A and B are shown apart, each in its own frame.
Chain A
Amino acid sequence: MRLSPRITQGMAVSGMWLLAGLTLGVLAFIIAFILWHGLPHVTWTFLTESPRAMGREGGVLPMIVGTAWVTGLAVFIAAPIGVATAIYLTEYTREGRLTAVIRFGADCLAGIPSIIFGLFGFVFFVITLGMGLSIISGALTLALMVLPTIIRTSEEAIRAVPASFRDVSFGLGSTRWQMVTQVVLRSAMPGIGTGIVLSIGRSISETAAVMLTAGSALGMPHTAFDSSRTLALHFYVLSREGLSMTNAYATATILILAILLINLAAYWLMRRFVAKVA
């Protein structure tokens, strides 16, 4: 039976809309489910207290602090290195073997599973370098993980800056470095910002690598050498061990809201960037 092309198209497109609808439905369901169960429990007390009885009671303040530290340090370390790499690749050399090698290195790094980073971080930072299970071990490991993303987005952002900008800058007599910082970076900043913001999102969600390097201590970290539990890991422990479903949902709510905010920020930054260079 041969169907007319119009009918085949109708069926195919409806089929695809169904699939897409299911996909979005899953997304909406997950977010709604978590928020529905968790939002009522995200109280000021929850956000400012420490956990008691292994997390059955109390709040998640140390986890928020720990997550902020680990993520903040990781981005603090990775962002300058990543942006510098991108600047080097685009403005300071010609395409050649060296750039191909550097880019290959970054691409490979991007594909490595997070558990291998955890493996490496555990044996290298925690044990060999003697940093122990600590925020700094976690941050260094995460920095390696997000480095490729920052390099890639920064490079794209810098490349998108029109050549005319650079020509004008040189024409006015600037040095290369002046041109890079005053002209290129200024225009590329929202694009670079997107990469950094996405890295923050990735770091917050990361569990496997953090578990093995920053540990899972419940107490408030006082120094960067203290072990600390991140929000994602806390959620994992609470839900896996059935310690407190309400607290688990509340923790997940904080995570989801943070991710929503981060994605919004990245989206907004991207639009600003496109506006600047288009």
Chain B
Amino acid sequence: MTKWLLIFAALLVALLVVSFGLGGRKEGALEVIGSTSIEPFAEMLAQEYEKAYPGRYVNVQGGGSTAGIQAAINGIADIGMCSRALKADETGFRDFIIARDGLAIVIHPSNPVSNLTRAQIGKVFAGNITNWRGLGGEDRPIHVISREEGSGTREAFMKLVMGKVRVSRKALTQESNGAVKELVRNDPGAIGYMSLGLAHGLKLVAVDGVAPSTEAALSGKYPLVRPFLFVTRGEPSERAKAFIDYVLSPPAQKLLEQEGLVRAK
């Protein structure tokens, strides 16, 4: 039996060594954590960055805007991603606007409703209108989908649409843009809010008569727009600054535009 034990231990050590070897000798990766709205774009830019500068690694993870800020505070992340403006009590940060993004109100493609006023949207999410009939649609209960409280997208939604009114307790809570998208995609009665740049395959509701698009967001006609921020605790480190500079550079900004975001400038 000691023979088996030795073989097992040897396999374990071999596993660790091989994994080490597969990765090579590198310094730790740059940790970028936070908003699930920014995450796909940051991931895309990280891959381009790694291609442009072989040997540098960037890890992008989600968790939500406030999670990103917390991660920056705790030192877990080098850069926090935040899809809302920093709050008054969030001090001691350097923030960099890397893009702007529209906030889309999304519904199932089969839903006949096309245009809602901001007031109507507010009432729906507060739970005052509960059937699509009340909005000129089919006779079907409205399933309200919201985000967790730490979400930057939710914060932006609260600021731009709800104001002081609370979201209904009956709202289904999802923890990322992707989860909201999946849910709305599969439920004909659903309504949710998410990043405009990620809302592919869903029907986008026109707000106060203005259909959401990058042009409308850029020109200011579409009212629901929020900033994408990279946030660091104090001054960014060398490595962080390098990545931030890359993200703000013209080729990277062009890439973001192609993907449906609005330029930072």
Contacts and interface: CB of A to CB of B under 8 A. Distances in A.
Direct contact between A and B judged by beta carbons closer than 8 A: yes
B56 to A, nearest CB: 11
Interface in B11-63: 12, 15-16, 19-20, 22-26, 28-29, 31, 33, 39-40, 43-44, 47, 57-62
B141 interface: no
A186 B211 CA distance: 73
A68 interface: yes
Contacts of B44: 53
Contact of B75 (A130, A222, A241): A130
A99 B25 CA distance: 46
Contacts of B182: 240-242
A241 B59 contact: no
B22 A242 contact: no
Contacts of A216: 61-62
Given A72-B15, A127-B76, A240 B59 contact: no
Interface residues of A, number: 37
A220 B25 CA distance: 12
Nearest to A52: B47
Interface stretch (B85-93, B113-121, B173-181): B173-181
Contacts of A227: 29, 31, 59, 61
A181 B143 CA distance: 63
B40 to A, nearest CB: 6
Contacts of A223: 20, 23, 28
Interface residues of B, number: 39
A218 B50 CA distance: 13
Nearest to B174: A240
B29 A219 contact: yes
A241 B181 contact: yes
A217 B28 contact: no
Contacts of B62: 216
B178 A65 contact: no
Contacts of A215: 33, 59, 61
A222 B26 contact: yes
Interface in A225-262: 225-227, 237, 240-243
B178 A242 contact: yes
Interface string A29-60: 00000000000000000000000111000000
Given A76-B12, A216-B61, A226-B29, A54 B23 contact: no
B23 A221 contact: yes
Nearest to B18: A65
Contacts of B203: none
A61 B19 CA distance: 10
B23 A68 contact: no
Contacts of A68: 15, 19
A223 B40 CA distance: 25
Nearest to A239: B182
Contacts of B24: 222
Contacts of A222: 20, 23-26, 28-29, 57
A270 interface: no
Contacts of B2: 186
Contacts of A217: 29, 31, 59-61
B243 to A, nearest CB: 14
A133 interface: yes
Name the residue among A132, A216, A241, A242 with the largest chain B CB count within 10 angstroms: A241
Contacts of A127: 74, 76
A69 B57 contact: no
User: Which among B19, B24, B58, B74 has the greatest number of chain A C-beta atoms within 10 A?
Assistant: B19
Contact of B23 (A75, A218, A220): A220
A274 interface: no
Contacts of A143: none
A72 B59 contact: no
Contact of A189 (B1, B29, B179, B181): B1
Interface in A187-221: 189, 193, 215-221
19 contacts: A53-B44, A68-B15, A68-B19, A72-B15, A126-B76, A130-B75, A132-B31, A132-B75, A132-B76, A189-B4, A189-B5, A217-B59, A217-B61, A221-B19, A222-B24, A226-B28, A227-B61, A240-B176, A240-B182
Interface of B: 1-2, 4-5, 12, 15-16, 19-20, 22-26, 28-29, 31, 33, 39-40, 43-44, 47, 57-62, 74-76, 176-179, 181-182, 185
Q: Which 4 A-B pairs have the closest CB atoms?
A: A241-B178, A222-B23, A217-B59, A242-B182
Given A132-B31, A216-B62, 6 more contacts: A54-B40, A65-B19, A189-B1, A217-B29, A220-B22, A223-B28
